[in-house]
Amino acid sequence: MKVSAQKIWFDGKMVDFKDANVHVLSHSLHYGNAVFEGTRAYKSDKGLAIFRLQDHTKRLLESAKITLLKCPFSKEELEKAQIDVIKANEFKNNTYLRPLIFLGDGEMGVYHLKSPVRVAIAAWEIGAYLGEEGLEKGIKVKISSLIRNSAKSSMNKAKASANYLNSQIAKAEAIDAGYEEALMLDEEGFIAEGTGECFFIVKNGVLITPPNDFSLKSITQDTVIQIAEDLGLKVLRQRISRDEAFTADEAFFTGTAAEITPINNIDTRVIGNGLRGELTKLLQNAYFDVVYGRNAKFASMLTYI
Ligand SMILES: Cc1ncc(COP(=O)(O)O)c(C=O)c1O
Q: Which stretch of DSSP H or E encloses residue 56? A: helix 53-66
User: Does 302 fall in a domain?
Assistant: no
Determine the residue type at 236. L
Closest to 112 measured CA to CA, from 35, 165, 2, 219: 35
Q: Does residue 262 sit in the same domain as residue 116?
A: no
C-beta pairs of 209-213 under 8 Å, 24+ apart in sequence: 209/235, 209/236, 209/237, 209/240, 210/237, 210/238, 210/239, 210/240, 211/237, 211/238, 211/239, 212/156, 212/157, 213/151, 213/186
Strand boundaries in the chain, DSSP class E: 7-10, 13-16, 34-36, 39-44, 47-51, 95-103, 117-125, 139-147, 181-185, 191-194, 198-203, 206-209, 235-237, 250-255, 259-266, 269-270, 302-304
**Domain housing 241:** 132-291
The answer to whether the beta carbons of residues 38 and 98 sit under 8 Å apart is: yes
Ligand 1 pocket (Cβ < 6 Å) reads 38, 167, 193, 196-198, 215-216, 218-221, 254-256
Q: Shortest CA distance to 263 belongs to which of 176, 174, 146? A: 174
Last residue of a domain, one of 72, 103, 125: 125
Answer whether residue 301 is part of any domain: no
In a domain, 1, yes or no: no
Ligand 1 atom 5 nearest Cα: 197
Same domain (yes/no): 119, 229: no
- DSSP helix/strand/coil, 231: coil
pLDDT at position 231 = 98
User: For residue 98, is it within any domain?
Assistant: yes
253: domain CATH number is 3.20.10.10
The residue from 91, 125, 159 where one domain ends is 125
Query: Does residue 101 share a domain with residue 221?
Result: no
pLDDT in tens, 161-220: 999 999 999 999 999 999 999 999 999 999 999 999 999 999 999 999 999 999 999 999
Kindly list the averaged pLDDT for each block of 10 residues, start to end, along the chain of length 305.
Answer: 90 98 98 98 96 98 98 98 97 96 97 98 89 90 96 94 97 98 97 98 98 96 98 98 98 97 97 96 98 98 97
One domain for residues 110 and 34: yes
CA 147 to chain centre: 19
- Which of 204, 291, 196, 190 has the alpha carbon at shortest distance from 253? 196
Residue 300: inside a domain: no
Q: 97, 125, 153 — which closes off a domain? A: 125
| Nearest 10 degrees: Cα torsion 147, 280, 178, 157 | -30
Q: Indicate whether 305 belongs to any domain.
A: no
Distance from residue 62's CA to the centre of ligand 1 (Å): 15
Whether 298 is covered by a domain: the verdict is no
Pocket perturbation via mutation, ligand 1, pick of 1, 197, 260 by most ligand atoms within 8 A of CB: 197
One domain for residues 221 and 270: yes
pLDDT of residue 132: 81
Same domain, 161 and 119: no
Residue 107 CA to ligand 1 center (angstroms) comes to 31
Residue 113 lies in a domain: yes
Give the nearest ligand 1 atom to 163 CA.
Answer: 1
Tell whether 157 and 141 lie within a shared domain.
yes
User: Which domain CATH number covers 115?
Assistant: 3.30.470.10
| Burial class of residue 74 in the structure, from the number of CB atoms within 10 Å of its CB (0-12 exposed, 13-18 middle, 19+ buried) | exposed
Which residues are registered as beta bridge partners of 198? 254
Judgement on whether residues 120 and 174 belong to the same structural domain of the protein? no
Distance, CA 106 to ligand 1 centroid (Å)? 32
Which residues are the active-site residues? 159
76 & 138 share domain:
no
For residues 94 and 157, membership in a common domain is answered with no
Write down the pLDDT at residue 3: 84
Residue nearest to atom 12 of ligand 1 (CA): 196
Does one domain contain both 180 and 247? Answer: yes
Please state the domain count of the chain: 2
The verdict on 99 and 202 lying in the same domain is no
Tell me, what's the pLDDT at 2?
78
